[in-house]
């Protein structure tokens, strides 16, 4: 009988011990080995005219203590290279993807000094809208392929998909009543 009262006492007066939260709850749906990565994409203009150029930005935010590799690594480090793949679209890419100036990182996981990025990283590329494009919404989709490292461990390449929309509007004759 005493055991029952003790159990009831614990359930009634100390329920938080029975339903304690894990210290890893802040990493819900997250692999405990891989870092937290946030990716956002944004065109420089949401509405654009045929014949105009616009910049397309990919912004990456990395968990502290982790880094990704440069788009242009040192010779012999091609497998560490960050890559941007765009799905086929109607816009014409101008030049190559640009990145902020990489920093030199002594990477203990691969045993080399590498070119990479930490914290907030922004990649960009200029695109041209063809002159014959109709008024419509067009999608820019693709994926960023990165390897993340923290000087102890490196992940396998991760594919981070992205998608954005651009509205193309032609200039032309305004329709309406004349006074």
Please give the pLDDT value at position 178: 46
What is the spatial distance between Cα 135 and Cα 47, in angstroms, rounded to a whole number? 10
Run of H or E residues at 7: helix 2-13
Confirm whether 91 is domain-assigned.
Answer: yes
Q: For 74-107, what is each residue's pLDDT tens digit?
A: 777 777 889 999 999 899 999 999 999 999 998 8
Domain count, the chain: 1
Q: CATH code at 103?
A: 2.60.40.10
Confirm whether 3 is domain-assigned.
Answer: no
3-class DSSP assignment, residue 27: helix
Confirm whether 25 is domain-assigned.
Answer: no
3-class DSSP assignment, residue 17: helix
Confirm whether 63 is domain-assigned.
Answer: yes
* 65, 68, 73, 76: CA torsion to nearest 10: 80
**Domain range enclosing 121:** 32-168
Global pTM value:
0.74
Are 83 and 167 a contacting pair, CB within 8 Å?
no
Structure tokens at 168: 């193309």
Please give the pLDDT value at position 74: 78
Structure tokens at 109: 């996981």
Q: Taking the CB of residue 24, how many other CB atoms lie within 10 A of it?
A: 9
Going residue by residue through the chain, which has 179 residues, state the pLDDT in tens, using 9 for 90 and above.
777 767 766 666 655 554 555 444 444 444 556 788 999 999 999 899 999 999 999 999 999 999 999 998 877 777 788 999 999 989 999 999 999 999 999 888 888 888 999 999 999 999 999 998 889 999 999 999 999 988 888 888 999 999 999 999 987 434 444 44
């Amino acid at each position: 009988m005493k055991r029952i009262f003790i159990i009831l006492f614990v359930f009634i007066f100390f329920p938080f011990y029975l339903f304690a939260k894990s210290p890893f709850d802040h990493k819900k749906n997250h692999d405990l080995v891989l870092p937290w990565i946030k990716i956002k994409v944004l065109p420089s203009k949401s509405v654009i005219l045929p014949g105009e150029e616009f910049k397309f930005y990919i912004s990456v935010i990395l968990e502290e203590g982790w880094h990704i590799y440069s788009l242009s690594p040192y010779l012999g480090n091609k497998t560490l290279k960050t890559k941007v793949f765009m799905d086929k679209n109607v816009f014409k890419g101008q030049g190559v993807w640009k990145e902020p100036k990489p920093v030199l990182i002594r990477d203990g996981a691969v045993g080399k000094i590498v070119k990479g990025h930490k914290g907030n990283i922004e990649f960009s590329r200029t695109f041209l809208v063809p002159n014959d494009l109709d008024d419509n919404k067009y999608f820019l989709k693709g994926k960023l392929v990165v390897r993340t490292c923290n000087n102890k461990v490196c992940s396998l390449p991760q594919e981070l998909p992205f998608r954005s929309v651009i509205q193309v509007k032609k200039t032309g004759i305004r329709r309406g009543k004349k006074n």
